[in-house]
Amino acid sequence: EILMVGIGNSVFGIDTMKVTKGKFFSEEELIRCPLDKPIDGIYCIGKHDGDVTDLSICQWMSSRLASASKDGT
């Protein structure tokens, strides 16, 4: 499973099977990953000019759309 996440002005893809390696993580045991040097299984897909406020992904296509807004609209 690949989870797409917008953090700040970056869009990341997280391969949950590769990152967890069969382990269970919870609120008490978080996965720590520096954004400038992602761990194995976390990939920086792209960057936006502003903070990513919306992220849309089509299930059957490889395209991704990220948008940013200063006023939240």
Q: Give the pLDDT of residue 49.
A: 82
pTM over 0.85: no
Domain boundaries along the sequence of the chain? 2-68
Q: Is the pLDDT of residue 73 over 70?
A: no
Q: Per residue in 24-66, pLDDT tens?
A: 767 777 778 887 888 899 998 888 788 877 776 666 656 656 6
CA 37 to chain centre: 14
Q: Per residue in 7-31, pLDDT tens?
A: 888 888 888 888 877 677 677 777 7
Helix (H) or strand (E) holding 6: strand 2-7
Beta carbons within 10 angstroms of residue 18's beta carbon: 14
